[in-house]
């Protein structure tokens, strides 16, 4: 590999898409496969602009199905490969990503959510939560990080490569069109200088030696002949996922101990949630927040512990209850009241959250 893309720490002011490209470079990604779709296009632009200096590669495919399957191929060849998409592209990607799920391939995908369903808007939403966490014809054996700012976009894009290669589940960074396009301050750094040790990728196919003589043969399948055989394989996947969950689950919470209302939000909406809690606390109102950082696996036990009698959980999201479904599943049997604040395809401001909380109280 040529020179390091980042040495030491560098303060920068850039778009979220640019941040993702720098993070992938810093993480040692070898190749990006992609197809243009707004609002993720500039990830491809910034990646291709930088890679000649650092000996990395890029392949533009004819559509998102191809982008997904070529990323799968890159991983099988032992490359740290990634792709990025949005909206209808994310829909198409579900077939190759289901294959990655079945074959336990560490594919990394960055999703910059846009309005839905279908083409809808190219601007923003949180309407790809269900698709990204539980998409495809499988059981959602994947890891999904939901960053809320440019620093987290950088940190979690780097982290996603390690999570994917350590646990061998497809891993997603679920951003959105606002984060993709806006400019914000960020500290870029060399992960290894921060003590982050990278999991070394390894080939699935094309290993040296004769299979069955010099080494065990590789047996990578996404198709099975009998129901029982598939059932057995899936049981192992579920066990691995369950064992992994406590190690990868991330969340944050504040002022929840005495709160009458706990606001739940993720991604860019969390910024409004955090500021609303600060403002409401200053007014003497008992309000806290709970923020899932991993939407899959979800911090279910941690949230359920807070969903007690007499409390209200206000769920703020730019979708019609996609986060709410994850929350309801997590707290099933708990007695807290759920208050929806659903604004599909549009942003949610601090002022709107404050007003809603006052209405609820």
Each residue's pLDDT tens digit, 172-230: 999 999 999 999 999 999 999 999 999 999 999 999 999 999 999 988 999 999 999 99
Distance CA 90, CA 233 (A): 26
Q: What are the φ/ψ torsions at residue 234 (nearest 5 degrees)?
A: -65, -35
For the whole prediction, is pTM greater than 0.95?
yes
Q: What are phi and psi of 89, to 5 degrees?
A: -65, -40
Residue 1 has pLDDT above 80, yes or no: no
pLDDT in tens, 8-34: 999 999 999 999 999 999 999 999 999
How far apart, in Å, are the Cα atoms of 280 and each of 29, 42, 95?
A: 43, 38, 45
Q: Is pLDDT of 2 > 80?
A: no
CA 275/CA 289 separation, integer angstroms? 10
Share of the chain above pLDDT 90, in %: 98
DSSP 211: B
> How many residues does the structure list for the chain?
361
State how far the Cα of 8 lies from the Cα of 222, in Å rounded to an integer: 43
What's the confidence (pLDDT) of residue 193? 96
Q: Is 26 helix (H, G, I), strand (E, B) or coil?
A: helix
Domain ranges of the chain: 9-194, 251-360
**Whole-angstrom distance, CA of residue 128 vs CA of residue 187:** 28
- Is 251-360 CATH 3.40.50.920? yes
pLDDT tens digits for 37-86? 999 999 999 999 999 999 999 999 999 999 999 999 999 999 999 999 99
> Quick one: pLDDT at residue 219?
87
- Centre a 10 Å sphere on the Cβ of residue 104 and count the other Cβ atoms it contains: 17
The CATH H-level superfamily of 9-194 is Thiamin diphosphate (ThDP)-binding fold, Pyr/PP domains (3.40.50.970)
Closest CA relative to residue 95, chosen from 46, 137, 55, 130: 137
Tell me the DSSP string of 153-173.
HHHHHHHHHHHHHHH-S-EEE
Q: Are 9-194 and 251-360 the same fold in CATH?
A: yes
What band does 341 get if pLDDT is binned at 50, 70 and 90?
A: very high
pLDDT of residue 3: 83
Q: What is the 3-state secondary structure (H, E, C) of 215-257?
A: ECCCCCCCCCCCHHHHHHHHHHHHHHHHHHHHHHCCEEEECCC
pLDDT tens digits, residue range 78-104? Answer: 999 999 999 999 999 999 999 999 999
Q: What percent of the chain has pLDDT over 70?
A: 99
Q: For 288-329, what is each residue's pLDDT tens digit?
A: 999 999 999 999 999 999 999 899 999 999 999 999 999 999
- CA distances 134 to 74, 94, 100, 239, 297, Å, are 23, 10, 13, 17, 11
Q: CB of 111 within 8 A of CB of 132?
A: yes
């Amino acid at each position: 590999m040529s020179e390091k893309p980042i040495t030491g720490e560098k303060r920068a002011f850039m778009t979220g898409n640019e941040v993702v490209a720098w993070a992938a470079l810093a993480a040692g990604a070898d190749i990006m496969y992609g197809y243009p779709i707004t609002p993720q296009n500039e990830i491809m632009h910034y990646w291709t602009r930088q890679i000649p200096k650092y000996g990395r590669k890029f392949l533009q495919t004819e559509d998102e199905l191809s982008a997904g399957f070529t990323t799968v191929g890159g991983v099988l060849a032992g490359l740290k490969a990634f792709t990025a998409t949005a909206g209808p592209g994310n829909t198409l990607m579900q077939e190759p990503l289901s294959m990655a799920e079945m074959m336990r391939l560490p594919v990394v995908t960055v999703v910059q959510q846009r309005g839905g369903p279908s083409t809808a808007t190219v601007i923003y939403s949180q309407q790809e939560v269900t698709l990204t966490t539980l998409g495809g014809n499988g059981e959602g054996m994947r890891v999904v990080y939901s960053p809320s700012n440019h620093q987290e976009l950088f940190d979690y894009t780097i982290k996603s490569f390690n999570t994917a290669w350590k646990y061998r589940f497809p891993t997603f960074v679920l951003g959105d069109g606002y984060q993709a396009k806006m400019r914000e301050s960020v500290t870029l750094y060399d992960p290894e200088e921060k003590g982050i040790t990278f999991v070394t990728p390894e080939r699935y196919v094309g290993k040296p030696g004769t299979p069955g003589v010099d080494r065990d043969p590789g047996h990578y399948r996404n198709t099975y002949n009998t129901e029982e055989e598939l059932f057995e394989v899936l049981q192992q996947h579920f066990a691995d996922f369950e064992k992994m969950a406590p190690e990868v689950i991330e969340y944050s919470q504040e002022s929840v101990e005495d709160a009458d209302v706990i606001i739940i939000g993720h991604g860019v909406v969390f910024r409004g949630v955090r500021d609303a809690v600060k403002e409401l606390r200053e007014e003497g109102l008992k309000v806290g927040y709970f923020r899932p950082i991993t939407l899959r696996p979800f911090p279910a036990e941690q949230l359920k512990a807070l969903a007690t009698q007499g409390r209200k959980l206000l769920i703020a999201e730019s979708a019609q209850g996609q986060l709410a479904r994850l929350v309801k599943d997590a707290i099933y049997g708990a007695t807290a009241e759920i208050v929806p604040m659903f604004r599909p395809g549009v942003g949610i401001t601090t002022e709107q959250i404050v007003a809603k909380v006052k209405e609820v109280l």
